[in-house]
Amino acid sequence: MINLTIDNQKVAVEAGTTILEAARKVGVKIPTLCYLKDLNVIGACRICMVEVQGARTFIPSCVAPVAEGMVVRTNTPAVIAARKLVLELILSDHPMECLTCLRNQNCELQDLAKEFGITEVRFDGAKTEYPIDDSSPSIIRDPRKCVLCRRCMSVCTNVQTVQALCAENRGFDTLIAPAFNEKLANMECVNCGQCSLVCPTGAIVERDDTAKVWAALADPKKHVVVQTAPATRVQLGEAVGAEPGSIFTGQMVAGLRRLGFDKVFDTDFTADLTILEEGNELLQRVTTGGTLPMITSCSPGWIKFCEHFYPDLLAHLSTCKSPQQMFGALAKTYYAKKAGIDPADIYCVSIMPCTAKKYECRRPEMNSSGYQDVDVVLTSRELGRMFIQAGLDTTNLPEEEYDEPLGISTGAGEIFGASGGVMEAALRTVYEVVTGQTLENIDFEVCRGLTGVKEATVQVGDLSVKVAITNGLGNARKVLDKIRAGEADYHFIEVMCCPGGCIGGGGSPIPTNTEIRLKRIDATYTEDERMVLRKSHENPAVTALYEEFLEKPLGHKSHELLHTHYTPRGVNK
C-alpha cells in the first residue's frame, strides 16, 4: 500500500493507482474530460491537473500514479485557475452551438463549463474548421465540436480493433478522423457507433432519422409499424431520464402508440424465429459436414467487420438475417397479407440500441419483400427524444402490451440483448429439439456476463456441443484468429459487435459504461424470468407463422425471406 495525503486527508491505496482514482476513493472529485476509465488514459486534455508538493508543474491526476508520501492538493486557487484557463482555451476553439446540438444537456464539455462557472471566453482567434462528415448512414462527425480527447479513437482501435479513426495533422490543425480525412463511409468503419457512445461532446453523434419517422406518422396513407429490439426495453427508461437498469417495456409500447404507430411489434418475435432457423442450420451443418464452427449473424457491425477483416471466414457465418431484417421481410409479406394491407403502404420502423442497424437496413440484400424491408432505424436515443418532443411523460404511462402476432415473444428472444443471450436461447431450443426432453434448468449462467471470450461445452444428447461467446470486436478477433489457425474446435460461436452485447450498443443512452451495462444486463434477465414462455420453439406465433406461411425452418420461403449472403470487402490500402 502507498500512503499519501490528498487535500489533507490521509489515503492508502495500492501501488499503481492514479491520483484521480485515489482521490475518488476519499470522495474528492477531480474534473476530467479525456479520461475514460480503462479505455482512454492518455493525459491529453489537462483538465484534471492537481498540485503535487515539490513538482515543477501541475500534475495530470488521471495518469499520474501515486507515490509514497505524496502531498496532493486538488483545489488550490492556483490549480483551479489553471484548469479554468485550459477549459477556456478549449472553448475558444469550439462552436458554441449548444442550443442546436444533439448533445445539449448531455455533454461533458457543457457540464464542465457550468461547473467551472465560465462566463466569458477572452480569446477570439481562429477556430478549427473541418467539414462535417455525414457520409455514414450511421454516425455523423462534426470535427468542429471535437475536443481531441481521442476516446473515439481508443475505442475504435483498442476495443473494436477497426482503427477507422486516427490522429492527423499537427498542432492547432490536429484532427481525429479516418486516415487522410477520408469519408467514414469509405473506410472499414463497421458503423458500431461505439465512438458516439464515448464522445464527451456532439462531435460524433448518431444520424438523426426522427424527421423521417415524424413524416411517416403524419402521412395518412402510410401504415406505420414499429419493432423494438430486445435491448431497447432496458434502455428507453434511461433515454427519458430514469435510472439505469429500469425496465421500460410497457411504457415504451404505450409511448409508441401515443406517437401514432399503427402497430407496435417486437423484434423479440423474430429473435425467436432466428433461433429456429439458426438452430436448424447448425444441426444441418453438424449432420451434413457443413462449415463449422458456425457463427451468429445478428450483429450488423460484426458482419461488416468479418467482410472487411476476415473475408476468408465468411462461410462460417450463419446465413440467417438479423432479427431486425427478418422482421422487415415478414412485415411486408406475411403481415401485409394477413392484415390485407398493400406492402407498398407499410412503413417499417425499428427501434434499436444500435447505429449499425441503420446501415444494415440499407444493404441491397435487404429488399426481399420487393421493398426496402425496414424503412428506417431509430436508436434508443432518438426514440427517447421523440418521446420528449411529444411531451409524453413516458415514465408514468400505464404499461401496454405489444400487438399480435408479431409482438408475441419469449424470454429467449428477450435475452438476445445481452452478450451470450443468443447462445443461451439457442441452447434452450436445440437441447429440447434434439433430445426431445425438457430442460431442467434453462439458465445457462456460463453464457452470461461481460467476460470478453466465454467458452462452454454443453452435452446435447450424444453430442458435446462446444461453444464460444465473444463481445466487442477485439475479442472476436481472438477467436477468429484461432479459427484461421485451425485451432478452434467449436461448433457454434456467438459474436456481438459491441461490448456487453446490444445493451451496450452504439445507439444506447449516454452514458453507457461498465456499471450501467451490468445494470441493463440484470434487467434483461429479470425480464426473461418474468416471461411465461422462455424458449423460442414454444412461441405460438412463431409456430403459427410456420404453419400459415413459411412451412418449415430452412424451407424455400425461409431462404427467400430470412436468409442472406455476404460480400468479401477486404481492407483499404
Partner 1 sequence: MKSLDELAKIKESRRAALKIREGVPSATEKAHVMMCGGAGCISSKCLEVVDAMKEALSKNGIAEQVQIILTGCMGPCDMGPVAIVYPDATFYRRLKPKDAEAIVEEHIMKGNLVQRLLYRAPGAKEPTPKVTDIDLFAKQKKIVLRNNFYIDPTSIEDYIANDGYAALGKALTQMQPAEIIEEVKKSGLRGRGGAGFSTGMKWGFTAAASGSPKYVVCNGDEGDPGAFMDRSVLEGDPHSVIEGMAICGRAIGAEQGYVYVRAEYPLAIERLDYAIQKARENGLLGKDILGTGFNFDIEIRIGAGAFVCGEETALLTSIEGKRGEPRPRPPFPANAGVWGKPTVLNNVETWANIPEIILKGAAAYAAIGTEKSKGTKVFALAGRINNTGIIEVPMGTTLREIVFEIGGGIPRKKAFKAVQTGGPSGGCIPADYLDTPVDYDSLGALGAIMGSGGMIVLDEDSCMVDIAKFFLDFVVDESCGKCSPCRIGTKRMYEILDNISKGKGKEGDIELLVELATTIKATALCGLGQTAPNPVLSTIRYFRKEYEEHIRDKKCACNVCELEE
How is residue 105 written as a grid cell?
Answer: 444537456
> Exposed/middle/buried for 529, CB within 10 Å: 0-12, 13-18, 19+?
exposed
Give least dist CB 521 to ligand FES, A. Answer: 28
> Exposed/middle/buried for 90, CB within 10 Å: 0-12, 13-18, 19+?
buried
174 makes contact with partner 1 (CB under 8 A): yes
The verdict on whether 365 is a catalytic residue reads: yes
Out of ligand FES, partner 1, ligand SF4, none, what residue 90 binds, judged by CB under 5 to 8 A for its kind, is: partner 1
160 makes contact with ligand SF4 (CB under 6 A): yes
Query: Interior CA angle at 212 toward 564 and 273, to 5°?
Result: 30
How is residue 261 written as a grid cell?
Answer: 404507430
Out of ligand FES, partner 1, ligand SF4, none, what residue 1 binds, judged by CB under 5 to 8 A for its kind, is: none
Question: Is there a contact between 444 and 456 (Cβ–Cβ < 8 Å)?
Answer: yes
Instruction: Report the candidate in 191, 102, 112, 104 with the shortest Cα–Cα distance to residue 142.
Output: 102
Binder of ligand FES out of 17, 60, 447, 524 (CB under 6 A): 60
> Exposed/middle/buried for 71, CB within 10 Å: 0-12, 13-18, 19+?
middle
Give least dist CB 47 to ligand FES, A. Answer: 5
The verdict on whether 281 is a catalytic residue reads: yes
The verdict on whether 414 is a catalytic residue reads: no
Binder of partner 1 out of 36, 64, 198, 545 (CB under 8 A): 64
Out of ligand FES, partner 1, ligand SF4, none, what residue 160 binds, judged by CB under 5 to 8 A for its kind, is: ligand SF4
Residue 205, classed as helix, strand or coil, is strand
Among candidate residues 188, 307, 360, 527, the one labeled active-site is 360
Question: Is there a contact between 416 and 422 (Cβ–Cβ < 8 Å)?
Answer: yes
191 makes contact with ligand SF4 (CB under 6 A): yes
170 makes contact with partner 1 (CB under 8 A): yes
57 makes contact with partner 1 (CB under 8 A): yes
Q: Which stretch binds ligand SF4 (CB under 6 A): 140-148, 262-270, 534-542, 550-558?
A: 140-148
Site for ligand SF4 in 87-126 (CB under 6 A): 94, 97-98, 101, 103-104, 107, 109-110
Per DSSP bridges, beta strands 175-177 and 2-6 are unpaired
Among candidate residues 263, 357, 358, 535, the one labeled active-site is 357
Residues 18, 16: Cα–Cα separation, whole Å: 6
Out of ligand SF4, partner 1, ligand FES, none, what residue 412 binds, judged by CB under 5 to 8 A for its kind, is: none
Per DSSP bridges, beta strands 223-228 and 346-352 are parallel
Binder of ligand FES out of 33, 113, 450, 480 (CB under 6 A): 33
Among candidate residues 62, 149, 152, 298, the one labeled active-site is 298
Give least dist CB 155 to ligand SF4, A. Answer: 5
139 makes contact with ligand SF4 (CB under 6 A): yes
Instruction: Report the candidate in 377, 356, 349 with the shortest Cα–Cα distance to residue 222.
Output: 349
Binder of ligand SF4 out of 19, 32, 145, 508 (CB under 6 A): 145
The verdict on whether 357 is a catalytic residue reads: yes
The verdict on whether 298 is a catalytic residue reads: yes
181 makes contact with partner 1 (CB under 8 A): no
Per-residue x/- track, 34-53, ligand FES (CB under 6 A): xx-------xxxxxx-----
Residues 58, 142: Cα–Cα separation, whole Å: 32
The verdict on whether 498 is a catalytic residue reads: no
Q: Which stretch binds partner 1 (CB under 8 A): 90-98, 219-227, 352-360, 433-441?
A: 90-98
Question: Is there a contact between 166 and 179 (Cβ–Cβ < 8 Å)?
Answer: yes
Phi, psi (degrees; rounded to nearest 5) at 387: -55, -45
Residues 278, 160: Cα–Cα separation, whole Å: 25
The secondary structure of 417-481 as a DSSP string is: GSTTHHHHHHHHHHHHHHH-S--S----GGG-SS-SEEEEEEEETTEEEEEEEEESHHHHHHHHH
Residues 432, 449: Cα–Cα separation, whole Å: 24
Residue 260, classed as helix, strand or coil, is coil
Per-residue x/- track, 199-218, partner 1 (CB under 8 A): --------------------
The verdict on whether 307 is a catalytic residue reads: no
Give least dist CB 65 to ligand FES, A. Answer: 13
33 makes contact with ligand SF4 (CB under 6 A): no
Give least dist CB 420 to ligand SF4, A. Answer: 21
Residue 307, classed as helix, strand or coil, is helix
In eight-state DSSP terms, residue 331 is I
Site for partner 1 in 31-50 (CB under 8 A): 42-47, 49
Give least dist CB 498 to ligand SF4, A. Answer: 9
Give least dist CB 52 to ligand FES, A. Answer: 14
> CB count, 10 Å around CB of 115?
11
Residues 533, 514: Cα–Cα separation, whole Å: 30
202 makes contact with ligand SF4 (CB under 6 A): yes
Name the H helices within 167-227.
194-198, 210-218
> CB count, 10 Å around CB of 31?
20
AA letter at 570: G
63 makes contact with partner 1 (CB under 8 A): yes
408 makes contact with ligand FES (CB under 6 A): no
Per DSSP bridges, beta strands 223-228 and 263-266 are parallel
Chain residues that interact with partner 1, rule: CB under 8 A: 42-47, 49, 57-58, 60, 63-65, 81-82, 85-86, 89-90, 92-93, 122-123, 125-126, 147-148, 166-167, 169-174
Chain residues that interact with ligand SF4, rule: CB under 6 A: 94, 97-98, 101, 103-104, 107, 109-110, 139, 145-152, 155-156, 160, 162, 164-165, 176, 189-195, 198-204
Chain residues that interact with ligand FES, rule: CB under 6 A: 32-35, 43-48, 60, 62
Active-site residue list: 278, 281, 298, 318, 357, 360, 365, 502
